């Protein structure tokens, strides 16, 4: 068994851990799509993490913040929502919030630039070298302008034992992501965390030479129970779904998995599926979740609180109204009490195994055919025979319950029998 812990954290706990460890690092990376610090946010854990990164950089640590600066400069967070800076706001209060948040964030960006601690990680494109002209032209449409570098997390690399780690989180580097929304992180320690961190650091280099496959799938060694999945823009191959989406399909319906390990064509059946995203599922994943419910699985899709903008505001309300599974099956759509930014797929199977797919992807099937964000996700396959795997899995679903993402009954259904 490969050594190394896999631990769920809140987004705030991740930032606290980063702030405490960055001073002992030789290399450190903090990465997100969005940076937004409110004027009152002067001593929070977000401000502490940014200050610690700047101080580490000033002491000579290779510490950097990787952002999609185009997105950061073109949008501003107002409460829980990012608005394009050209978006008209009728409320004087919201206009004031946007102006003060933009000014406060600009001040932090100045500090980070002065410390030479920012990498502008704009969207990278899949190589079109093997594509026909028609496929390239099909990929190059105006909507591609909205593709972003969407992955979120942090890397600490150190020569000191017990310091190196890689963390994938669902939260951006914003005050609201820390204070008013549910966000979850998964931290990987030990040799796996070190080696994954070295790989992710290479991915985050602005001029990195990425493979032409449209993404990467990384494991510490073949057959490891933890897999890192990286997707990026689909220019040149517009019909290809992201690797993360394809993996989600295989978890929901294992018969879609092309690998046959033991010569048997039968597959395990999902007993309980929990799909969490900030949006309701659409397209293919919606159909598959509906079918799983019809075939006897318990399927739960938590939705945002009733007063959340993703239930009311255009264009998000169209997804709610158009979701093809709400009116066709017994899928449970419990309303959350707290706005959530968690993106996760948890599946418990009838052979007492389980799987977790966790990361930055919102699982919007239709949109991802048009605009391909750059994403990172972790796949964890859980065997009841591994105490390490079951312990990490139990901690993960316990965190989901503690945050109100799942009920005690669903938590019980997800548990692995020992």
pLDDT for 61 beyond 50: yes
Lowest mean pLDDT among 47-61, 99-113, 302-316: 302-316
Selected residue with higher pLDDT from 102 and 223: 102
pLDDT of 327 reads 60
Tell me: pLDDT of 315 over 80. Answer: no
CA within 13 Å, CB half, 331: 29
Residue pair 394/388 in contact (Cβ under 8 Å)? The answer is no
Distance CA 147, CA 125 (A): 10
Q: What is the mean pLDDT of the segment spanning 106-112? A: 96
Element spanning 227, H or E: strand 226-231
269-278 pLDDT, tens digit each: 999 999 999 9
| pLDDT score of 345 | 98
List where CATH 3.30.870.10 sits in the chain. 6-203, 215-414
Classify residue 43 as exposed, middle or buried by CB count within 10 Å of its CB (0-12, 13-18, 19+): exposed
The predicted model gives 257-275 an average pLDDT of: 91
Query: Which of the four pLDDT bands, split at 50, 70 and 90, describes residue 325?
Result: low
Residue-level pLDDT at 1: 37
CB 366 within 8 A of CB 349: no
The answer on pLDDT for 292 being more than 70 is yes
Decide yes or no: CATH 3.40.630.10 for domain 215-414.
Answer: no
- Least confident range from 114-118, 196-200, 235-239: namely 235-239
Q: How confident is the model at residue 3 (pLDDT cuts 50, 70, 90)?
A: very low
pLDDT exceeds cutoff 90 at 366 = no
Give dist(CA 260, CA 65) in Å, integer: 42
| pLDDT band, very low/low/confident/very high, at 220 (cuts 50, 70, 90) | very high
- Residue 222 has a pLDDT of 87
Q: pLDDT: is 129 or 164 the higher one?
A: 164
Does the pLDDT at position 268 exceed 80? yes
- Which run of H or of E encompasses 258? none
Rounded mean pLDDT, 229-238: 76
Q: Which of 46-50, 121-125, 359-363 has the weakest average pLDDT?
A: 121-125
CA distance 267 to 246: 17
Q: What integer is the mean pLDDT of 328-354? A: 93
Q: Which residue has the higher pLDDT, 131 or 81?
A: 81
Query: How confident is the model over 244-273, as a mean pLDDT?
Result: 92
In Å, what is the CA distance from 325 to each residue of 85, 255, 287, 340? Answer: 34, 21, 7, 20
| The predicted structure's pLDDT at residue 368 | 62
pLDDT of residue 63: 98
Query: For residue 378, what are the β-bridge partners?
Result: 228, 358
**For residue 324, pLDDT beyond 60:** no
Fold of 6-203: Endonuclease; Chain A (3.30.870)
What percentage of the chain carries pLDDT values higher than 70? 89
pLDDT score of 4: 57
Does the pLDDT of residue 144 top 80, yes or no?
no
Please check whether residue 147 is in contact with residue 373, taking contact to mean a CB–CB distance below 8 angstroms: yes
Q: What is the value of pTM for the model shown?
A: 0.94
Minimal CA–CA distance to 168: which of 9, 403, 305?
Answer: 9
pLDDT for 241? 79
Q: What is the pLDDT of residue 207?
A: 85
């Amino acid at each position: 068994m490969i050594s190394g812990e896999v631990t769920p954290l809140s987004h705030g706990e991740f930032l606290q851990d980063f702030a405490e460890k960055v001073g002992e690092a030789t290399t450190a990376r903090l990465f997100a799509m969005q940076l937004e610090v409110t004027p009152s946010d002067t001593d929070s854990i977000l401000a502490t993490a940014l200050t610690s990164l700047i101080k580490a950089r000033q002491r000579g640590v290779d510490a950097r913040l990787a952002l999609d600066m185009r997105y950061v400069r073109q949008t501003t967070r107002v409460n829980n929502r990012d608005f394009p800076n050209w978006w008209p706001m009728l409320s004087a209060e919201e206009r004031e919030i946007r102006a003060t948040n933009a000014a406060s964030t600009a001040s932090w960006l100045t500090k980070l630039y002065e410390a030479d601690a920012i990498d502008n990680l704009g969207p990278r494109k899949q190589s079109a070298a093997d594509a026909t002209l028609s496929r390239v032209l099909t990929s190059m449409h105006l909507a591609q302008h909205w593709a972003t570098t969407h992955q979120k997390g942090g890397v600490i690399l150190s020569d000191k034992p017990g310091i190196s780690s890689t963390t994938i989180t669902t939260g951006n580097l914003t005050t609201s992501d820390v204070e008013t929304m549910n966000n979850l992180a998964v931290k990987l320690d030990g040799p796996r965390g070190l080696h994954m961190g070295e790989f992710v650091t290479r991915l985050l280099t602005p001029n990195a030479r990425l493979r032409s496959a449209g993404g990467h799938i990384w494991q510490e060694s073949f057959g490891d129970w933890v897999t890192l999945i990286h997707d990026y823009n689909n220019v040149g191959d517009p019909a290809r779904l992201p690797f993360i989406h394809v993996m989600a399909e295989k978890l929901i319906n294992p018969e879609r998995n092309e690998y046959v390990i033991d010569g048997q064509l039968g597959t395990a059946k999902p007993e309980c599926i929990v799909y969490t995203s900030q949006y309701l599922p659409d397209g293919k994943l919606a159909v598959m979740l509906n079918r799983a419910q019809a075939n006897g699985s318990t399927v739960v899709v938590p939705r945002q609180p009733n007063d959340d903008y993703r239930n009311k505001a255009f264009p998000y309300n169209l997804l709610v109204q158009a979701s093809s599974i709400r009116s066709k099956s017994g899928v449970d759509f419990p309303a959350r009490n707290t706005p959530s930014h968690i993106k996760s797929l948890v599946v418990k199977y009838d052979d007492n195994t389980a799987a977790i797919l966790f990361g930055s992807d919102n699982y919007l099937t239709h949109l991802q055919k048009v605009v391909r964000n750059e994403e990172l996700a972790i796949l964890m396959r859980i065997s009841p025979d591994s105490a390490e795997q079951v312990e990490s899995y139990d901690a993960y679903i316990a965190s989901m319950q503690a945050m109100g993402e799942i009920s005690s009954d669903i938590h019980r259904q997800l548990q692995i029998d020992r």
